């Protein structure tokens, strides 16, 4: 039994704003889900994908930056250091980019796909992706980082199709979505 490519849930789906439940143990079903999440993320040119983005409110996300690839189950951010503001996109909010302030370095703990505990210090893009996907497990989206006024403006423009802010083009090969 395989899942195959999964459908990405888009902004407005309640699954994206729901806090995810911890995973008790990684078994065959979870491993199939993880495999399908990697396949889906790759097909969408993403670098990270959280289970809520495919309609499953469990604490699982996958990361593949091209240099670093891992699965995080029941992740925790133990400590952070530094900060920087960078543009982020999201597979669940196509073509929208938001400036998000993130820690430059994070110390994390999670269970991997083999039920082993992992502790790591993450920097740069991997730290950014980890924080973005961790937010998904908390029911938080990049739009939540905007001021209420900016968020309302963007949501209104998205609804009526007149969004004029930053747009990821379909043919923009230099950008990958988180």
**Which of 30, 58, 88, 133 is the catalytic position?**
133
Residue 164 CB contacts under 8 Å (≥ 6 apart), including other chains: 157
DSSP one-letter code for 4: -
Residue 22 CA to residue 15 CA, distance in Å, equals 15
Pairing mode, strands 48-50 and 117-123? unpaired
Measured CA to CA in angstroms, residue 158 lies from 143, 152, 163 at distances of 12, 10, 5
**Contact criterion met (CB below 8 Å) for 59 and 23:** yes
Task: Look up residue 65 and give its two tokens.
Answer: 């930056």
Instruction: Determine the straight-line distance between the first and last CA of the chain, rounded to whole angstroms.
Output: 28
- Contact indicator for 104, 127 with CB cutoff of 8 Å: yes
Q: How far apart are CA 157 and CA 93, in angstroms?
A: 13
Could you confirm whether 133 is annotated as catalytic? yes
The set of catalytic residues is: 133
């Amino acid at each position: 039994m395989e899942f195959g490519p999964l459908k990405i849930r888009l902004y407005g789906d309640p699954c994206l704003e729901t806090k995810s439940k911890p995973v008790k143990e990684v078994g065959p079903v979870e491993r199939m889900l993880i495999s399908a999440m990697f396949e889906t993320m790759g097909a969408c040119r993403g670098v990270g994908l959280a289970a809520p983005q495919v309609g499953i409110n469990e604490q699982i996300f996958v990361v593949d930056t091209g240099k670093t690839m891992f699965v995080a189950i029941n992740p925790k951010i133990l400590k952070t250091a530094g900060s920087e503001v960078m543009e982020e996109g999201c597979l669940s909010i196509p073509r929208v980019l938001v400036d998000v302030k993130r820690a430059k370095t994070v110390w994390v703990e999670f269970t991997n796909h083999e039920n082993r505990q992992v502790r790591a210090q993450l920097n740069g893009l991997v730290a950014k992706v980890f924080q973005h996907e961790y937010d998904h497990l908390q029911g938080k989206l990049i739009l939540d980082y905007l001021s209420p006024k900016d968020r309302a403006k963007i949501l209104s423009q998205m609804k009526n199709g007149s969004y004029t802010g930053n747009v990821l083009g379909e043919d923009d090969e230099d950008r990958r979505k988180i």
